[in-house]
Every structure is written in structure tokens, then in C-alpha cells.
Amino acid sequence: MITFYYNLAPNPMKVALCLEEMGLPYELKPVDTRKGEQHHPDYLTINPNAKVPAIVDQDTGATVFDSNAILLYLAEKTGRFLPPEDPVERGELLSWLMFVATGVGPFSGQAVHFKRDAPDPKEYAVNRYLFEARRHYSILDARLAGRPYMLGGIYTIVDMAVWGWARMVPFILGEDAWTTFPNLKRLLDEISARPAAQAAIALKDQHAFKTEMDEEARRHLFRHVTPQWN
């Protein structure tokens, strides 16, 4: 049994997809970040970085945080959704998995933050992060031209990592953004139609998370602006 600490953000959703694809039994533990539950001492023993997702594998005793680390852990645990054991393909797997971890996710998150939540003046930051988010999605789209999946002919954890963030492209870059990324949209649609993705999406009905971005939420999500962090 795997204990899965989650909310409905892109990073937990890619782990939900992975768990469902692998058919692994898991127990949901909601962490409502807009209520500050990620800062509770009990959760900080699981993820000192106070982010979601995280898992505790009851079978092995392992605790893993960071969504891409979790995907790799689960793939190696099960031996599934990995390329053949070949150094060249292993290099591609790690490169693209880390590209999502260090590029796609952070730049997408910062683009949303500065566009929607940061105080003025913010034009420079908005332009920079939207440019970088768009550039990273363009690289994914180019990679998918002429190949069905990120690593070629096989569906892997890299595609799951991409799916988590690709779902958010219109929210990040605007409703017309898909006209620029037809190959990425094709991958998104294919994965979203899979039963595992449908089950992951249905997790939204399991727990109610706070949706308001009020002062309480800002205090918990953006702690650098509160008095104790000044």
C-alpha cells in the first residue's frame, strides 16, 4: 500500500496518473495548501520542502517527495513504463524527465504566479516567465513531431510527467495556446482518454480543497510576504 499525499495541482496529478497506470493500491491523504496543511509538523517529516506530492511506500518503508522522483521510484519499483535497459534510452529518459522537473514545471508555475498573484510592478517578470513557459512547451511540441511519445514508440513516465503540466497550457498561456502546440495537444488528448487518466481526474470528487485565493491562502502559499519572513 502506498500513502499518497496530494492535491489537484499538476505535480500530484501526474503521480495519480502513474499510480493508476501501474494499478498500485494507494491511500489518499489530502493536503490543502491554501489552508496551510503543508506546513504542519507531521507533514514536514514527510516532505521538509512543504510541497505536494509525497508518498510513503508501506511495503518498503521508503518516503519519496518531488513528483518526478516519485515517478522514477514507482517505475523502478514495478519495472513498468520505462524504456529498455539501454544507456542511450536511459539517458533520454533522465534528460526529459529532468527537463519537465527543472524547466516546464517551475517556469509554468512562476508564469501563473506573476500573471495572477504578484503585486505591481510586474511586467518584466510576467513577460520573462511567459516567454520561458512558452519556449519549454515549444521544445516538447518539437520533440513530439514525428514520434507518438516523448521517448519514441513507447509510453513512459516521461509522458505522464508531461501530461500533468500539459493539461494546464490554456490556463498558463491563454485559451488559444493549443494552436501553437499541435503535437503536444495530440499527446494530451491521447493520454487523457486512457482509463488511468480518467481515474486520476476523478480524484477531484474525493476531497474538497479550498479554491479561494484569499488572504489566508496567500499567507500560506506566499510566506515570504508575511511579517515573520520579512
pLDDT tens sequence across 51-74: 999 999 999 999 999 999 999 999
Q: Can you give the residue ranges of every domain in the chain?
A: 2-80+199-229, 87-193
Is residue 117 predicted with pLDDT exceeding 90?
A: no
pLDDT at res. 225: 57
Q: For residues 156-182, give the mean pLDDT.
A: 97
Is residue 219 predicted with pLDDT exceeding 90?
A: no
Is residue 211 predicted with pLDDT exceeding 80?
A: no
pTM for the complete prediction? 0.92
Q: Do 87-193 and 2-80+199-229 have the same topology in CATH?
A: no
User: Model confidence at 228, in pLDDT bands (50, 70, 90)?
Assistant: very low
Q: Say yes or no: domain 2-80+199-229 is CATH 3.30.1330.200.
A: no
pLDDT tens sequence across 133-149: 999 999 999 999 999 99
Fold held by 87-193:
Glutathione S-transferase Yfyf (Class Pi); Chain A, domain 2 (1.20.1050)
pLDDT at res. 118: 87
Is residue 191 predicted with pLDDT exceeding 80?
A: yes
Q: Which range, of 103-112, 119-128, 221-230, averages the lowest pLDDT?
A: 221-230
Question: What is the DSSP annotation of the chain?
Answer: -EEEEE-SSHHHHHHHHHHHHHT--EEEEE--GGGTGGGSHHHHTT-TT--S-EEEETTT--EEESHHHHHHHHHHHHT-S---S-HHHHHHHHHHHHHIIIIIHHHHHHHHHHHHTSPSS-HHHHHHHHHHHHHHHHHHHHHHTTSSBTTBSS--HHHHHHHHHHTTHHHHH-TTGGGG-HHHHHHHHHHHTSHHHHHHHGGGGTSPPP----HHHHHHH-GGGSGGG-
pLDDT at res. 185: 98
pLDDT tens sequence across 8-28: 999 999 999 999 999 999 999
Provide the mean pLDDT of the chain: 93
